[in-house]
């Protein structure tokens, strides 16, 4: 199978599975507990039907949006995700370059493998910094100041990860950071030699957002231990309100799912919220963001930018979310599989296919611009 054989999410996933060692593929692919929420995130879109209009003169299509002060050429952005250079040696560099080519936003994680300063200097497309709240308050302030000095446009605080989800696939494979080859996993890497060749012939793996502050040289630290030992489960609304004031700019909370929390985000001065259950990787059994979207838009959509991620695999999924009132949508696995399969070329192909799907869908819906999408275009089963 080649990149040119990939036409949709499932094709990219299949190619990534062929090219990645099992433990790394399962880290991307897996979720918490029984992975019920992972499946429901996409299934939720299937319970909603599109009702198109015709004869609307759709020779030109404008799919641009403005979200959290950022003008995007398409209503989809690359959500920040961790450890990208384990999936492909180009990592965040490939994702940033592809996002810039398509005029959309990309994110850098606290657990990113390329420094946010390097990416900010190389690409002028909007950049999000996804931040975890650590027990060390001084570390939190230092990391925020660093992002501010780098010129990051949007601060994104993840609020649904005060402890790690029970990701049983990772427990079975022993997946950890920094990545360490083990005898038990050697066979998986032996049958996927290109990954190993790329891993050892390119620059060493590192976590540059944390390396000034956290000593990870003493051996492998599991993903679960990072969340459990370093992140602060006592984080509360007062802590976040202080961060919003300190940042004094575009600030969103990722992982909001209840109306009460959405209203509180408005009260403390956030400019955006991301409805998300972390791709089903945290609380299994939690509600799908798409199913919760209308309720939250109705409550706060006129006061704050409401964004969602989770389960998006098609352009029609994007159109359904926008019709319910989302300002834009974020994707994770959607670009991670093509990244793992083919680096920047893979991400560009995935974004290009998605852009074409959104444009085609808008024409078939009878909508020339995003603001013409509405709930009149939807029916729920």
> Would you name the residues annotated as active-site residues?
278
Strand locations in 59-204 (E)? 65-67, 70-72, 76-78, 106-109, 127-131, 154-158, 176-177
CA distance 117 to 178: 21
Would you state the torsion angle of the CA atoms of residues 363, 364, 366, 372, taken in this order, to the nearest 10 degrees? -70
Residue listed under structure tokens 């974020």: 330
Both ends of the chain: CA-CA distance in Å? Answer: 37
Residue listed under structure tokens 């099992």: 22
Query: Which of 128, 120, 78, 68 has the alpha carbon at shortest distance from 99?
Result: 78
CA distance 304 to 315: 24
CA distance 77 to 311: 14
Helix (H, G, I), strand (E, B) or coil at 246: helix
Residue listed under structure tokens 């090219």: 19
- Answer yes or no: are the C-beta atoms of 310 and 281 closer than 8 Å: no
CA distance 327 to 227: 30
Residues constituting the chain:
381
Task: Please name the helix (run of DSSP H) or strand (run of DSSP E) that holds residue 253, with its range, or none.
Answer: strand 250-256
């Amino acid at each position: 199978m080649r990149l040119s054989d990939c036409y949709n999410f499932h094709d990219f996933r299949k190619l990534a599975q062929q090219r990645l060692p099992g433990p790394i593929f399962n880290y991307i692919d897996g979720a918490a507990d029984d992975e019920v929420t992972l499946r429901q995130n996409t299934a939720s879109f299937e319970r909603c039907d599109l009702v198109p209009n015709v004869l609307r003169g759709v020779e030109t299509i404008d799919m641009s949006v403005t979200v959290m002060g950022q003008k995007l050429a398409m209503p989809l952005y690359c959500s920040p995700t961790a450890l990208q250079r384990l999936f492909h040696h180009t990592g965040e560099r490939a994702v940033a370059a592809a996002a810039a080519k398509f005029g959309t936003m990309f994110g850098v994680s606290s657990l990113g493998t390329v420094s946010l300063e390097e990416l900010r200097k190389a690409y002028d497309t909007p950049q999000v910094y996804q931040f975890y709240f650590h027990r060390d308050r001084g570390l939190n302030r230092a990391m925020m100041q660093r992002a501010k000095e780098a010129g990051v446009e949007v601060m994104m605080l993840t609020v649904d990860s005060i402890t790690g989800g029970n990701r049983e696939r990772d427990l079975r494979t022993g997946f950890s950071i920094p990545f360490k080859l083990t005898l038990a996993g050697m066979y998986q890497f032996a049958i996927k030699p290109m990954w190993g060749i790329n891993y050892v012939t390119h620059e060493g793996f590192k976590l540059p957002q944390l390396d000034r502050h956290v000593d990870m040289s003493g051996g492998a630290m599991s993903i679960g231990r990072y969340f459990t030992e370093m992140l602060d489960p006592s984080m509360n609304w007062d802590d976040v309100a202080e961060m919003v004031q300190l940042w004094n700019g575009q600030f969103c909370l990722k992982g909001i799912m209840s109306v009460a929390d959405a209203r509180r985000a408005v009260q403390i001065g956030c400019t955006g919220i991301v409805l998300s259950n972390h791709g089903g990787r945290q609380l299994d059994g939690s509600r799908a963001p798409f199913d919760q979207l209308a309720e939250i838009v109705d409550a706060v959509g006129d006061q704050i930018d409401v964004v969602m991620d989770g389960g998006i695999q098609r352009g029609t999924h994007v159109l359904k979310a926008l019709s319910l009132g989302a300002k834009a949508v974020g994707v994770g696995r959607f670009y991670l599989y093509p990244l793992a399969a083919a680096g920047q070329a893979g991400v560009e192909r995935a974004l290009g296919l998605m852009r074409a799907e959104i444009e085609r869908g808008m024409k078939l819906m009878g909508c020339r611009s995003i603001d013409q999408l509405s709930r009149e275009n939807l029916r729920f089963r």
